[in-house]
Amino acid sequence: MKTGRSGPQGPNKQMLTRTLILMGVCGIFSFLVLAVQLFNIQILQHEELEQRAIRQQLRAITVSAGRGTIFDSTGTILGMSAGVENVFISPNSIHVHGEDRELIATGLSEILGVDQDMILSRMENTASFYQTVKNRVEREEADLVREFIVEHELRSVHLEPATRRYYPRGRTASHILGFVGAEGTGMGYGVEGSYDRYLTGVNGRIVRLKNARGIDMLLASYEDYHTAQPGHDIHLTIDVNIQQILEKYLRQAERDFDLRAGGFALAMNPQTGAILGMASINDYNPNSHGVLDDETRERLRAVYPDDDEAFHAAVNRTLMESWLNKNIHYTYEPGSTFKLITLAIALEEGIACLHDGRHFYCAGNTMAVPGRVDPLRCAGGVAHGSLNLTQVMQRSCNIATVELAMEIGPEVFFEYLQAFGLFETTGVDLPGEALGQVWSEENWNRAAANRDLTSLAAASFGQTFTLTPIRLVTAIAALSNGGYIVEPHVVERVMAEDGTVIRENRTTVRRQVISRETSQAVLEVMERSVDDPALGTGRNAAVPGFRIGGKTGTSTDTVLEARTGEKEYIVSFVSAAPIDDPEIVLLVSLQSPGPRNTVTVAGGTMAAPTVGRMLTAILPYLNHTPAEPARVNIQVPHVQQRSVEDARNVLQTEGFEVLVRGEGTQVIDQMPSSGAMVVAGTQVILFLEENRPEDEVAVPDVVGMGFEAARAALEAAGLYVRRSGTIAQGEQVRVYSQSRAPAEVVRRGAVIEIFLIDTSLEGQ
Amino acid sequence: MISDAKRPRQAVQSNSETRLRDEPRTNTRRMPMDLPFFLLVLLLLSIGVIMVLSASFASAYYDVTRVTGGNPTYYFFRQSVFAVSGVLLMLVVSRFPTSFFRHISFWGLLISVGLLVLVPIIGVEVNQAQRWISLGFTNFQPSEIAKIAIVLAFANMICTYKDKMKTFRYGVLPFVIVMTAIVALLMLQPHISAAVIILGVGVAMMFLGGTQLGWFVGGFGVVAALGFVVVNHFGHASARIASWQAPFDNPLTGGWQIIQSLYAIGSGGVLGLGLGQSRQKYLYLPEEHNDYIFAIVAEELGFVGVMLILSLFAVLIVRGYWISLHAKTKFASLVAAGMTSLLAIQTFLNVGVVTNLLPATGISLPFFSYGGTALWFQLIAMGVILSVSREIPAKREG
């Protein structure tokens, strides 16, 4: 140590050299190495690394485009999207900020009605920034969640905007509308499915720089907007009022006739192909399409009280069946409604003529058809005797119809089946249209060559082949619009938000099948089937004051029969109105009347009065005024505060009878009240001294009575009568139902509607 | 002066005699410190503190451990206080004569070894490694003291052994024993990066001190073998090797940090995103204001800015060796070269790690990385170099 301190201390030469070497290595060489590496990263790999960095830094927020609104033809909203919010938690944030899990789970569970344990289990994944608590939460609930967040200063509970599909009319037109799935897109049912690409908008995006926790970067200003393009609006040809009329009376028929397999109704404008209404009893609520209503669930539970698996399978099957629109999915034998087609072919081919005086003879059960073992019969084995062509249809005679078909011949008949479109879909703009089962041309011709006319005979009265209701309506429409097969459609036009028409479904005529003259003749026959109170099988469809035409039909559902082992009838009525220039073709088919039904199972007794009820409501709605004088029910005028003489004159001119109570010159009160619709000839009581009595009376049971007897019974009880149903007169016209149940207590002077049916009709 | 070394021995001899004659005067009348070196330190420190503000802004704001209380300037403020006090420390240290450092060198080594022994006993554990001793207001790593102590102690040993440095007994064995002891203590924590630095600077000192070159070749073999064992047996080290070789294959495990670092540096391009405009600092890049601050610098200032800063480092280091070459005594020369080498090794290792040239390990960037006591010891080391610079005799004209 001592020598070290005292001796010469400067660095020696070797050390200086080595310092210089170190200077070169540490001061220059090492930095050159770093410079090369940095050049490599910053210049050569710049593009790639920057892209990768930006990819992780940019977060795109999808701005969901609003789905288009669905309007009916009157502008009523049937389907719309509304803003809701999704509630989610960030388990990572809960973990990092140490927020109270129990508090959050309990609070959210109380507000949103979500299982608390589910929320707690979603909090376990602490790496996640997004766990859904509840999607599509309404404004009120979302506000409660916001209050909850503020109250507890939570940093891990969030809301984001979303949309939800609403169907304000619930079950109404559910089969036409369809529904959207969890992703908010159409699910292949209804116009939500078939017009999905129009209804769906183009989602927008907001691209922002986000930090690693997904929050906007401070001070960073990069933002890129792609505006969302909202979906287009759909304007339906459906009129919600007509739709509701169809649905209402279908349900009434379901109750009245104990329909076990449902029923459906389809109204179309035959001139344009626009569907006005389309209803099927097996409907659902598109707002909750995935949930079966409680009533049906209980009914199924009763069927499978112990078997959970079978019960759930039945629930699922029922649910999925409820989404099916029978008007386009279901295929069935049209029955005698199809005789109109045979008639049209015969008229068009000049085989028969309406007023040529030709008579057909029906012996009931004697007709032999080549190739057929047993002789052909009319319904119930009835012998119609001698019939002219109109009467053949009025009375729906199988034997005469087959005779016409024989004269037409299998080749020509088959050509017409093709022309009427039995081998093709109608082209309706709804998803999943079915095609009926029809003979192949080959089989048909082979049978014809072998002189086997069984198929021809059966086809002439609508049996042994199937078609969809919409196909039948399209064929009947051709009979009533001058012979044109039009393509049916439910969407009138698609419109952009700014009012631009994106697509318009104009009337598409496929071809003309029959001439205008033939069409006129068929309509005339159809009218005779309804307006002839003695012979028309469709007379229960008559609507007082309107000219309507129609044809009954009865067939069986062989598929269902195979399953149940019982007779499963389908009774139908197809109609056109007004007959001079039809604006509506309406088909109603009712399936499997059950044991509680009390009338003869036939199109004329079940489907025809249902059609009558529907048209009674629809025709005035379509601005058709009933022709004088066939007004069955009339409105009671307001005569209070008028002189007795004045009141008496007014009432008698309208067609009422008058009874005066008390002494005086001024009418103080009247019964029935003004504005009530009651049957013509009703006796109106005028009170001159005091107000009408306000007591209550019990409704008598008038079901099964004739009209006059029922009226007398009701009037005796102090009630008034409004008549609906058939306008036919006679012994066989009976009250089928009454609007207030027997023994129900109502105010004196109330109006009871009685529904009348002509029970004298034979089958078909 | 460099030319002096190339002069004939005769001339050198006469020169040193002259210096010997002047010695009492120079000892009492110390020269002013080396201004370029001092200014370069201040310049790098200023840039470093500003970069701490930029890099730490986001993480301080989003701080979830609530250390910063969400105050975005938290780290900047603390770093500024340490920087100012550190500069004062540096100036104080620079006023000590170099002989003082030789006096304390043995004790310095003893104290630092003692502290390293204490670390496993009273140390504070951070990130699964026990490297820190708490001072109450801040923590410090005894390895920082060891780095300085080993330079001073080795310089002293070299000056003492003089010509015996050529032998194994004096030129190799004592140094290896000291280094092995310190490295062993560091591996207990474990603290690989400090061990690497200690080894690096120790070897540099031996190289300067005149140890035969053959020993370095042998030593390199031993270290390579040991390194292989360490890498294969220390779990967190071998995982680092894997993510170093293929960071993009393990993005969510070991590769995350280096991937984010490369994203940041790569995003910088030629001119950078601009001061304060880093996007990677928004919680993507961990340790963005500590060990990985260089990546943020590269992202914001680009290739041009980074080259400028590395040039400043390079110039500072060259100037440090220049001071060493001109030092009055052998001890001063060795100390200056050792401290400069320490700075150079730290800088190279840090930038090497951040640019994925080297496997990831926690080495801070001098003057830039956030960390008060580390900054203090760096500035103390600079103060030692400045002290050496003050004893350089004024150039005689003619």
Q: What is the CATH number of the domain that holds A473?
A: 3.40.710.10
Domain assignment of residue B15, yes or no: no
For residue B5, pLDDT over 60 is answered with no
Do A603 and A652 lie in one domain? The reply is no
Task: State whether B87 and B111 are in the same domain.
Answer: no
Among B197, B290, B193, B203, CA closest to B234: B193
> What pLDDT, on a 0 to 100 scale, did the predictor assign at position B128?
67
B25 inside domain: no
> What mean pLDDT is predicted for residues A178-193?
84
Is B152 within 8 Å of chain A by CB? Answer: no
Would the CB atoms of B64 and A53 count as touching at under 8 Å?
no
Cβ–Cβ contact B271 with A under 8 A? no
Rounded to whole angstroms, the Cα distance separating A668 from A643 reads 9
* A15 within a domain of the structure (yes/no): no
Alpha-carbon distance B143 to B119, whole Å?
Answer: 10
Specify whether A400 is located in the same domain as A448.
Answer: yes
Least confident of B193-197, B215-219, B301-305: B215-219
Cα torsion A43, A44, A47, A48 to 10°: value is -140
pLDDT score recorded for residue B181: 92
Residue count of chain A: 764
Is A7 a residue whose pLDDT tops 70?
Answer: no
Of B225, B245, B274, the one marking the end of a domain is B225
- B306 shares its domain with B206: no
Q: What is the pLDDT of residue B259?
A: 86
Q: Choose from A16-20, A136-140, A333-337, A473-477 the range with maximum mean pLDDT.
A: A473-477
Where in the sequence is the domain holding A575, given as residue range(s)?
332-621
User: What's the pLDDT score for residue A137?
Assistant: 86
- Going by the DSSP 8-state scheme, the letter that residue A114 receives in this structure is -
Q: Are A323 and A289 in contact (CB under 8 A)?
A: yes
**Rounded to a whole number, what is the distance in angstroms from the first to the last CA of chain A?**
134
pLDDT band at B66 (very low <50, low <70, confident <90, very high): low
**Same domain, yes or no: B243 and B380:** yes
Among A13, A38, A213, select the one facing B5 at the smallest CB separation. A13
Residues B375 and B289 grouped into a single domain = yes
Look up residue A194 and give its two tokens. Answer: 């078939």
Q: Do A601 and A723 fall into the same domain?
A: no
**What letter represents residue B69's amino acid?**
G
Residue B375 lies in a domain: yes
Going by C-beta distance under 8 Å and a sequence separation of 6 or more, which residues neighbour residue B54? B275, B276, B278, B281, B296, B300
Q: pLDDT band for B3, please (50, 70, 90 cuts).
A: very low
In a domain, A322, yes or no: no
- The token pair at A305 is 């009280």
Contact A211 B162 (CB under 8 A): no
Query: Which of B193-202, B272-281, B338-347 has the weakest average pLDDT?
Result: B272-281
**Residue-level pLDDT at A763:** 45
Facing residue for B266 by CB, picked from A13, A42, A209: A42
Same structural domain, B204 and B269: no
| Mean pLDDT computed over every residue of chain A | 86
Q: Is residue A292 part of a domain?
A: no
Of the two residues A11 and B200, the one the predictor is more confident about is: B200
A598, A700: one domain: no
Query: Is the same domain home to A546 and A417?
Result: yes
More confident site: A341 or B279: A341
Q: What percent of chain B has pLDDT over 70?
A: 85
Residues 715-744 of A with CB under 8 A from B: none
Interface of A with B in 494-523 (CB under 8 A): none
**DSSP for residue A67:** P
- Residues B198 and B151: their CA atoms lie apart, in Å, by 9
Task: Select from A579, A600, A621 the last residue of a domain.
Answer: A621
User: Distance between CA atoms of A316 and A319, rounded to whole angstroms?
Assistant: 5
**How do residues A726-739 score in pLDDT, each as one tens digit?**
776 777 788 888 88
CB contact under 8 A, A26 and B310: no
Judgement on whether residues B137 and B263 belong to the same structural domain of the protein: no
> DSSP letter string over A403-444?
HHHHHH-HHHHHHHHHHTTTTS----SSTT--------HHHH
Residues of B in contact with A43 (CB under 8 A): 269-270, 303
Whether residue B328 is predicted with pLDDT greater than 90 in this model: the reply is no
Say yes or no to pLDDT of B25 above 60: no
CB < 8 Å from A in window 182-241 of B: 204, 207-210
Which residue has better confidence, A498 or B334? Answer: B334
Q: Could you tell me if B180 and B307 lie in one domain?
A: no
**How many domains does one find in chain B?**
2
Last residue of a domain, one of A180, A206, A235: A235
Res A6 pLDDT > 70: no
**Any domain includes B12:** no
Asked if residue A499 belongs to a domain, the reply is yes
Q: Is the predicted pLDDT of residue B7 greater than 60, yes or no?
A: no
Instruction: Indicate whether B247 and B381 sit together in one domain.
Output: yes
Answer for the pair B34, B323: CB distance below 8 angstroms, yes or no.
Answer: yes
Domain boundary at B206, B225, B244, which?
A: B225
Which residues, numbered 554 to 573 in chain A, qualify as contacts with chain B under a Cβ-Cβ cut-off of 8 Å? none
pLDDT, residue B398, reads 37
Is the dihedral angle over the CA atoms A482, A487, A488, A493 positive or is it negative? negative
For residues B273 and B282, what is the distance between their CA atoms, to the nearest angstrom?
A: 14
Q: What is the CATH number of the domain that holds A183?
A: 3.90.1310.10
pLDDT value at residue A218: 61
CB contact set of A312 (below 8 Å; sequence gap of 6+): none
Residues in chain B: 398
Question: What is the model's pLDDT at position A223?
Answer: 63
Contacts of A94 in chain B (CB under 8 A): none
Q: Please state, in angstroms and rounded to a whole number, the distance separating the CA atoms of residues A573 and A265.
A: 10
ipTM score: 0.87
Q: What is the residue whose two structure tokens read 């400028």?
A: B308
User: Is residue A188 pLDDT above 60, yes or no?
Assistant: yes
Q: Is B64 on the interface with A (CB under 8 A)?
A: yes
Q: Which of A12, A23, A50 sits opposite B266 (nearest CB)?
A: A50
Taking residues A652-672, what's their average pLDDT? Answer: 86
Q: How far apart are CA A572 and CA A597, in angstroms?
A: 16
pLDDT of A153 above 90: no
- The backbone torsions φ and ψ at residue A342, rounded to the nearest 5 degrees and listed phi first, read -60, -45
Residues B137 and B271 in one domain: no
- The verdict on a CB contact (< 8 Å) between B344 and A27 is yes
Report if residue A275 sits inside a domain. Answer: no
* Residue of chain A whose alpha carbon sits nearest to that of B315: A27
Residue A758 φ/ψ, nearest 5 degrees: -85, 110
Choice between B333 and A387, residue whose per-residue pLDDT is larger = B333
Instruction: Count CB pairs under 8 A between chains A and B.
Output: 185
d(CA B26, CA B30): 6
Q: Which of A5, A6, A15, A45 is the best mutation test for B, with the most CBs of B within 10 A?
A: A15
| A221 located within any domain | yes
Q: Which of B16, B277, B310 sits opposite A35 (nearest CB)?
A: B310
CA distance B362 to chain A (A): 18
- Residue A498: CB atoms within 10 A of its CB come to 5
Same domain, A108 and A197: yes
CB contact under 8 Å between A19 and B333, yes or no, is: yes
**Chain B residue with Cα closest to A6:** B20
In the predicted model, is pLDDT for residue A279 greater than 50?
A: yes
B143-179 confidence digits (pLDDT tens): 899 999 999 999 999 998 888 888 888 888 899 999 9
Q: Exposed/middle/buried for A703, CB within 10 Å: 0-12, 13-18, 19+?
A: middle
Kindly state whether residues A460 and A539 are assigned to the same domain. Answer: yes
Whether residue B373 sits in one domain with residue B261? yes
Domain assignment of residue A323, yes or no: no
Please tell me the total count of domains within chain A.
3
Do residue B135 and residue B166 come from a single domain? yes
Q: Do B307 and A49 touch (CB under 8 A)?
A: no
Q: With contact defined as beta carbons under 8 Å apart, do A238 and A73 qualify? A: yes
**What was the pLDDT predicted at A15?**
87
Q: What is the pLDDT of residue B308?
A: 96
pLDDT at A8 over 70: no
Q: Taking the CA of residue A438 as centre, how many other CA atoms within 13 Å lie in the half-sphere pointing to its CB?
A: 21
Average pLDDT over residues A63-79: 87
Give yes or no: residues B364 and B245 share one domain.
yes
Both A642 and A750 in a single domain? yes
- Could you tell me if residue B374 is inside a domain? yes
Q: Residue for token digits 């479109």?
A: A421
Q: For residue A218, which residues of chain B lie inside 8 Å, CB to CB?
A: 57-58, 61, 282
B-chain residues within 8 Å CB-CB of A4? 159-160, 162
Q: What six digits make up the tokens of A220?
A: 């960073």
Same domain, A355 and A437: yes
Residues A666 and A617 in one domain: no
End-to-end CA distance of chain B: 13
pLDDT of A3 above 50: no
User: Do A602 and A458 fall into the same domain?
Assistant: yes
Last residue of a domain, one of B173, B194, B225: B225
Amino acid at site A282: N
End of a domain among A235, A256, A279? Answer: A235
**Rounded alpha-carbon distances, angstroms, from residue B305 to A35, A506, B165, B268:** 12, 70, 43, 10
Task: Read off the pLDDT of residues A203-254 as tens digits, 9 standing for 90 and up.
Answer: 777 777 777 666 666 655 566 677 778 889 999 999 999 999 999 999 999 9
Min Cα distance A61 → chain B (Å) is 19
Q: Establish if B396 belongs to a structural domain.
A: no
Quick one: residue A457, left, alpha or beta (phi over 0 = left, psi -120 to 50 = alpha)?
alpha
| Residue corresponding to tokens 């050299």 | A17
The reply to whether A700 and A589 lie within a common domain is no
Show which of residues 69-98 on chain B sit within 8 Å of chain A, judged by CB atoms. none
The set of residues, in sequence order, having a beta carbon less than 8 Å from that of A646 and lying 6+ positions away, is: A639
Q: Tens digits of per-residue pLDDT, A385-418? A: 888 888 888 888 888 898 899 899 999 999 999 9
Q: Please report how many Cα atoms fall inside a 13 Å half-sphere around the Cα of residue B194, on the Cβ side.
A: 26
Residue B241 Cα, gap to closest chain A Cα (Å):
18
Contacts of B321 in chain A (CB under 8 A): 19-20, 22-23, 26-27
Nearest-CA distance B119 → chain A (Å): 30
The closest CB to that of B321, out of A13, A22, A43, belongs to A22
Provide the shortest C-alpha distance from residue B141 to chain A (in Å): 25
**Interchain CB contact of A46 with B (< 8 Å):** yes
Burial label, A342 (beta-carbon count in 10 A; 0-12, 13-18, 19+)? buried
Per cent of chain A over pLDDT 70 is: 94
- Whether residue B335 lies within 8 A of chain A, CB to CB, comes out as no
Which chain B positions have a beta carbon within 8 Å of A45's beta carbon? Answer: 262, 266
A207: helix, strand or coil:
strand
Q: Which residue of B has its CA nearest to A96?
A: B64
With CB atoms and an 8 Å threshold, state whether A96 touches B64. yes
What per-residue confidence (pLDDT) applies to B236? 60
Residue B144 sits in which domain range? 101-225
Report the gap between the CA of A130 and the closest CA in chain B (Å). 18
Partner residue opposite A212 with nearest CB, options B209, B268, B283: B283
Q: What are A99-126's pLDDT values in tens digits?
A: 888 889 999 999 988 888 888 888 888 7
B167 within some domain:
yes
In a domain, B42, yes or no: yes
Q: Are A27 and B321 a contacting pair at CB < 8 A? A: yes
* Class of residue A102 by CB neighbours under 10 A (exposed 0-12, middle 13-18, buried 19+): exposed
In this predicted structure, what is the pLDDT of residue B59? 81
Partners of residue B64 in chain A, C-beta under 8 Å: 96-97
Q: Is residue A2 pLDDT above 60, yes or no?
A: no
From the list B16, B62, B207, the residue facing A10 with the nearest CB is B16
Q: How far is B121 from chain A (nearest CA, A)?
A: 31
- Chosen for mutation from B296, B321, B340, B363 (greatest number of chain A CBs closer than 10 Å) is B321
Residue B265 to residue A8, Cβ atoms within 8 A: no
Residue A75 lies in a domain: yes
Give A139's contacts (C-beta < 8 A, 6+ positions apart).
Answer: A83, A84, A85
